[in-house]
Structure 1
């Protein structure tokens, strides 16, 4: 594509926009018309909360007794609570969440199911979730099951139960991509809260979700709606990362809920750091700590693990799991090893963690958790089972995490963490040895060293208490508390740096690319694949290729695949698999209609992104009124003694190349706006031996204007040329670019070249074309973006300039699979076109856009 040389011409009249963004009022009215049920239920939740008094506070005993659902309500014959609990929020926070969930979640369901089926799903799944959960609680309480006994007296109000069920029902009517995503996101969230909170409402939602899963299949009359469908590598990585992150968040959920109703909720005790019983333990053990009993030392060790530093270290497994999840989402092998390590250590130490949690509760409350041995044993097994299941999942899915970290990054990480560990341990020993020698005179240097090393281990992973305990409120305690915090902070930062470092990838073969271009062309813009900064992927048979550039995880291709027409579909699918394996999202940019048709067959979506203009040189005759401006420029140039030169950079004399370089530098430096790149070549691209240059020289032989042309091959022969580089000297003849381009077209006609491409213009449509109304928000946004960028880069003016040559208009499209990736694709394209924008240029661009 070419940049607009006439963008600074303020005399050019603006084009009246053909589309506009809806106003806020229009958008809200549209949503009301399309989603009456979701809006009505959202309003109902607010009204019932105001009437019941839960909009300002938790429900009163009278409210829960009258409207709350649960085992007591069923035993009392309050059958209506199955439905009343679905429309009354529990507290102000839930009123807000339920209202938003209704607008978003039920809005999605309503557009898929319709009003009546959505209402049916809301009532059936919500009522079923409450009823079945109450039945399980009643049955479990009669058999003495811990969770059921603790929740059998609950009465709940929870609109989210029906919303979750309705959304899960609607997934059966969605495509495989959205069905899989919503089920995974909703499912992981609901299961996490059920495992780590244990509240009755979470069980309601879990059962409603399962009912909705099967109800959707029944309503859709399609058993395949139960299946998630085949998923890409990226989707698998997303799923694994979500599961790892959700299980990491679980202990924090339990901590926030102050729950101890499930075995997983016991991990919340690790976050507690109440030191209120410290003085009592010291009083019982006596001032001479070294002479204290093993029981006193153990209790002091538990007390010392409750300080602020140990409180922060309790978050370490969660933080490391989040870091691992972020890397797993990108397909990093290092993140896979990190996740495996965290889950393995968690599984091995889970019995210790449960015991430790129980002990800490006893120290803080003065009482011990009393559970039957068999059930307590089952809880310990359950605490081991969860990390083991995650570990098995990681091992089974390991082939999807192949991106290796650079060896240099690994070596730097190992050196940094080793040095930090040694430094911190030595610092701790120096800071605390006087205190330790005073209270533990029998401690040897080995004991001091082991005590220092143990400071780097979070207390939850200590299989036995320290024999040396530093207590009190003095300097050694600060070192005792925060040595591990400092070490793991450094380790975590180092891990993040590894995951942010570029993965180790193979290179490309420029000679192979050029060979394939000569055979298959790759379309009008195929030669851009040879430019510096672009990578090339080769098909499995090495007979096809695709040029691309990766920006922010988006693999932006350079127009059409370099492949034979019959191989395009296979090559595209292979490239998508390749991107999937590297955690990239592919975006096929500026593809021509014949290639866009392939994507349509594959079920992808296409979006108009511009227009290419082509001149049929074999039929070129400069006659008629439509050629008047071009004919005038050509005749004027001839009268003024202008001539043209066609050749490669190496064929030009030194004086000409110096003038071209000076012309380009003057043009760039004279513009406040940043120079665009990616599909716009510069001086470096002019120097390619296969690129041709057309010069306009005045009567003195000085260069007045320059254009560059990229070759388009077919079966080894040049069949067309594509315009790329355009520059002119300030003060040159008006119409010099028209003179130069039409001279090139006439030269092509005389040499047997049948077509000439004037490249593409982004964000515009064919002049005079019947533009359909913009139905999607994205298309309306593109209209708005085109109008906003027009003052800065003049795309419409550029198209008008090219229209003077009476070209054929060829639409250009962008093919993409996932609509959610469009914002990221837009950012990636911006960075690809403007990679080196300075702050000053960015400000200038913003000013231009605001005009």
Structure 2
């Protein structure tokens, strides 16, 4: 047996384990403070036993624990020792993610200093506020008794908020909105001292960051006030909806707004405690709630909160149905306590026990806050114009009516059959009232007297779960309705062609293709052609705008997309448009290269043109001619030959034919498109190309190659022949530019790689490799290089990196809108075989 020497170590391909190890080393080198913070938290948790949920409160900070007991070191230990396993895990995850991001913004040395300084300051301020609140008698009912605080997320919150001052506008706004929404929710509803200490540190970090970033040039990022308003209102509604849930999970909560939780519980312990001495219909109702408690009634109790969360999701998308839902639930939540006060179900004597502040806060949480938020939604109602289609609205209305009738009928029948499960005789009228009340949360149901209820069996099960089933159907129907938005009119294509003739770039004609829509400015002087794929608006090529108005058109089109809750993206744009978008804070990734020939002075003379000149002279010598035509000018025989050539090309690959920016036979039928045919001595068409016009001041000054097909059994060099003849003859007609169109996923050979996100760039390169066996993009790009073109990079511009997955999927669907499952399998098989 012969032995093969092992390759040198440096030549061996890296293993998966080696790649992971290398990535970890790079991460540690880039984020040493974040890694050290995570390690310190784990070590402190293990040393104190809190990692295994052992009591470590002796290391916690607070007014009594720190100053009353003289344990001053707790100001340091409270910053690194977690109070539980969950706290340790969450602190480590936050350190390795958001703190690492802040470290890249601030620098490692500054991050380390700010972690200590802001964390220490946050603890001191929090302790001071805690002590001050406890000294006020009126606030004692809503201030938790001291439990020493152990919370490593306190310094993390402060450092991250300080780091946002150095973040791009998009992420600065996003981190601050979401961060303070979460911190505020826990502080106002859960109300534990940890939440207030974290919030104090975050506020201090925000102020420190503003001081550190003072005088720093900020790059603006365009985001319309419509989107900003929607995001803010959606966050507020989400906080109002999820805050009481947080308080319920935390055992009732002690925050200033936690008093609203009583409206979302199954029964009221305080009322039940008084029922031994006072008999009333309210007591009967609470006893009924107590006796029938369970998972179903618990879910029914929080239905208003769930509806608010569903509404918040739709508000962010500009949905009018979400606006209606949020407004109705908020107003109902505010009106209910007022009605309860007026009819005597709710009795408040606020100043008897010296706890007046508690009832003031109760009124704010239960009445004032929902009404103010509902008023804000009413004022901003124009920001939510996205309506569902009439057909979808009718479908939802019918479905909900049918669901209600079915659920109510089922509940009535089950309760009627199971009358023996009730503790007393019930009439048909009692059953009707009971049935209707089971579709309302307990806080919204007014029995107006002692209500009967089942004690067991199918009657109790139906009593507990039928209402929950109905509201689950309601939530599903609303979410379905969100996805059935009306689409605006596609726009006037004739006017787009008029603007094209005024002046357009080489790819502007793509905007006339079937499937594209057209946006116009108010004065109809600017236009953008776009393809709407799902909720992504893919603007095709550069916008049409008079000189100096392109930035205005870009902003206005973006606002138009935001108004309709679409994700805007500009696809296949040139550097001029890209520069305008970059000034607005947009990012980009290259998606191809356009190859352009400048026609003035072109002769194909010299050795460098030999690869083009030889096919040209050979074809002319053998009797081939280049014939200009338009589709409607072709004879029946000629049109049949062109169709046969195209069908042969498609059938040969057995792969889905691509569209979007790649033309097909349908685009050849346009009256403005010219065809150039390679016709043999026997009048047989050997190859066909199509050319799209571009104008300057109403005069055609350029042509762009689109459709390229040749017979598989025809002579070689036909494409070189047609392109060379087109260049020479169009030059004589006065054209100055001949574009050979774009090569998808190709790299500009004259430029270095740009600053796009590495994973996305790597994905595009991988995609180019995968698609090459199927579509030959790289081969086509090399073929066009024979004509010594000028390279014009084409880019995809986007605003938000988080939108890239949706944009990528939309581009794929735009190129392959009608691909069958068999064709996709064939594409995958061809790609796989090409990579082997």
The counterpart of 1:113, out of the listed 103, 106, 113, is 106
The answer to whether the 8 Å contact 1:353/1:460 transfers is: no
Rounded to whole Å, the distance in 2 between the matches of 1:744 and 1:354 is 86
User: Which of these residues, 196, 205, 210, is aligned with residue 212 of structure 1?
Assistant: 205
Deviations 1:490-546 (A, max 9, x none): 22222122211032423311111111111122x111111111211100011111211
1:456 shift after superposition: 1.8
Do the aligned partners of residues 494 and 697 (structure 1) sit closer, same or farther apart at CA in structure 2, a change above 3 Å counting?
same
Deviation of the 1:802 alpha carbon? 0.5
User: Alpha-carbon deviation of 1:734?
Assistant: 1.8
C-alpha displacement of 1:67: 4.8
Contact 1:137 1:149 in 2 (8 A): no
Is contact 1:301–1:466 with CA below 8 Å preserved after alignment? no
**Structure 1 residues 212 and 770: CA distance shift in structure 2, 3 A:** closer
Q: 1:326 aligns with which of 313, 326, 329?
A: 313
Partner in structure 1 of residue 289 of structure 2 = 302
5 Å-filtered alignment, 1:26-175, equals 26-58=22-54, 60=55, 63-145=56-138, 151-175=144-168
Within a 5 Å distance, the mapping from 1:726-805 to structure 2 comes to 726-767=708-749, 769=751, 776-805=758-787
Contact 1:255 1:269 in 2 (8 A): no
Offset at 1:672?
3.9
Higher relative contact order (CA 8 A, sep 6+): 1
2:685 is equivalent to residue 703 of structure 1 = yes
Distance 1:259 1:428, change over 3 A: closer
Q: Does the Cα contact within 8 Å between 1:351 and 1:380 map onto a contact in 2?
A: no
SS where residue 713 of structure 2 aligns?
coil
Shift of 1:689: 1.1
SS of 1:566 mapped into structure 2 = coil
The secondary structure found in structure 2 opposite 1:811 is strand
1:845 alignment partner, SS class: helix
- Do the aligned partners of 1:196 and 1:264 also contact (CA within 8 Å) in 2? yes
**Which of 372, 387, 391 is the aligned partner of 1:404?**
387
Q: Equivalent of 2:675, from 665, 675, 693?
A: 693
When residues 260 and 563 of structure 1 are mapped into structure 2, their CA distance, relative to the original with a 3 A threshold, is closer
Could you say which residue in structure 1 is the equivalent of 2:796? 814
Deviation track 1:210-253 (CA, whole Å, cap 9, x = no partner) reads 1112122222235999x999854223322222232233222332
What is the CA–CA distance in structure 2 between the aligned matches of 1:78 and 1:823, rounded to whole Å? 52
Residue 546 of structure 2 is aligned to residue 561 of structure 1 = no
> Which of 810, 813, 817 in structure 2 is aligned with 1:835?
817
Q: Write the deviation string for residues 611-660 of structure 1: whole angstroms up to 9, x where unpaired.
A: 11112233222222332232232233234432332111111111222222
Counterparts of residues 618-629 of structure 1 (less than 5 Å)? 618-629=600-611
Which residue of 231, 243, 247 corresponds with 1:238? Answer: 231
Q: Is the 8 A contact 1:38 1:102 kept in 2?
A: yes
CA contact (8 A) 2:41 2:81 kept: yes
CA distance in structure 2 between the aligned counterparts of 1:612 and 1:224, rounded to whole angstroms? 35
Q: Please state whether the residue corresponding to 1:260 is helix, strand or coil.
A: coil
Contact 2:222/2:585 (8 A) holds in 1: no
SS at match of 2:796: strand
Query: What is the CA–CA distance in structure 2 between the aligned matches of 1:670 and 1:224, rounded to whole Å?
Result: 57
Q: How far is the alpha carbon of 1:690 from its aligned partner?
A: 1.1
Counterpart-to-counterpart distance in 1, 2:231 and 2:434: 41
Name the stretch that deviates more: 195-204 or 458-467.
458-467
The equivalent position to 2:335 in structure 1, one of 338, 342, 348, is: 348
Task: Supply the RMSD in Å over aligned alpha carbons.
Answer: 3.4
Mapped to 1, the partners of 2:170 and 2:340 lie a distance apart of 39
Question: Which of 581, 584, 599 is 1:599 aligned to?
Answer: 581
| Range that drifts further, 388-397 or 830-839 | 388-397
Aligned to 1:514: 497
Contact 1:105-1:167 within 8 A present in 2 as well: yes
Q: How many residues align?
A: 805
After TM superposition, the structure 1 stretch with the greater mean CA deviation from structure 2, 505-514 or 659-668, is 659-668
Distance 1:379 1:98, change over 3 A: same
User: What is the CA-CA distance between 1:573 and the residue it aligns to?
Assistant: 1.9
Deviations 1:399-439 (A, max 9, x none): 22111222222222222222322333233223323545996
Residues 801-851 of structure 1 show CA distances to partners (whole Å, capped at 9, x for unaligned) of 101112121122233333333333222222222222333333343444442
CA distance in 2, matches of 1:622, 1:230: 50
How far off its partner does 1:184 sit?
0.3
Deviation at 1:675, TM superposition (A): 2.1
The verdict on how the C-alpha distance between 1:80 and 1:331 changes in structure 2, with shifts beyond 3 A counting, is same
Cα offset for 1:165?
0.6
**1:438–1:117: structure 2 CA closer, same or farther, 3 Å change rule?**
closer
Of 192, 195, 201 in structure 1, the residue corresponding to residue 185 of structure 2 is: 192
Moved more, 550-559 or 155-164: 550-559
Render the CA deviation track for 1:575-609: whole Å, top value 9, x for unaligned: 12222222223222222223223334444334332
Q: Is the 8 A contact 2:115 2:158 kept in 1?
A: yes
Measured at CA, do residues 601 and 417 of structure 1 come closer, stay the same or move farther in structure 2, by a change above 3 Å? closer
Q: In 2, Cα distance between the equivalents of 1:354 and 1:759?
A: 73
Q: Could you tell me how far apart the structure 2 residues matched to 1:838 and 1:512 are?
A: 35
Distance 2:495 2:195 in 1: 59
Cα shift at 1:203: 1.0
Are residue 494 (structure 1) and residue 487 (structure 2) matched?
Answer: no
SS of the aligned residue for 2:549 comes to helix
Cα contact 1:343–1:390 (8 A) shared by 2: yes
2:14 is matched with which residue? none
**In the aligned structure 2, how far is the partner of 1:562 from the partner of 1:540?**
14
**Distance in 1 separating the partners of 2:81 and 2:422:** 60
- CA deviations on 1:435-484 (whole Å, 9 max, x unpaired) are 45996988665444333222222223113466442312222323322332
Q: Give TM-score, length-normalised by structure 2.
A: 0.89
Q: 2: CA distance between counterparts of 1:780 and 1:452?
A: 60
Query: Retained in 1: the 8 A contact 2:540–2:572?
Result: yes
Task: Show the counterpart of 2:3.
Answer: none
Q: Secondary structure at the match of 2:688?
A: strand
Task: Indicate how the Cα distance of structure 1 residues 372 and 425 shifts in structure 2: closer, same or farther if over 3 A, else same.
Answer: farther
Q: Tell me which residue corresponds to 1:364.
A: none
Counterpart in 1 of 2:556? 574
Contact 1:69 1:157 (8 Å CA) reproduced: no
Corresponding residue of 1:337: 324
Partner in structure 1 of residue 698 of structure 2: 716
Distance in 2 (alpha carbons) for counterparts of 1:775 and 1:831: 22
The more displaced of 243-252 and 708-717 is 243-252
Structure 2: state its 5+ residue gaps. 1-17, 347-351
Query: Match for residue 251 of structure 1?
Result: 244
Q: Confirm or deny that 1:634 pairs with 2:621.
A: no
1:531 maps to 513
In structure 2, relative to structure 1, the CA distance for the partners of 1:520 and 1:47 (3 Å cut) is same
For residues 228 and 663 of structure 1, the distance between their equivalents in structure 2, rounded to whole angstroms, comes to 49
Residues 688-711 of structure 1 deviation map (CA, whole Å, 9 limit, x = unaligned): 111111222233222222211111
How many Å apart are 1:284 and its aligned residue?
10
Cα distance between partner residues in 1 of 2:307 and 2:142:
35
Residue equivalent to 2:175:
182
Whole-Å separation in 2 of the counterparts to 1:393 and 1:785: 47
| Change in 2 beyond 3 A, CA 1:500/1:127 | same
Contact preservation (8 Å) 2:191, 2:256: no
TM-score (norm: length of structure 1)? 0.87
Greater Cα shift, 69-78 or 686-695: 69-78
Unaligned runs of 5+ in 1: 1-21, 286-291, 360-369
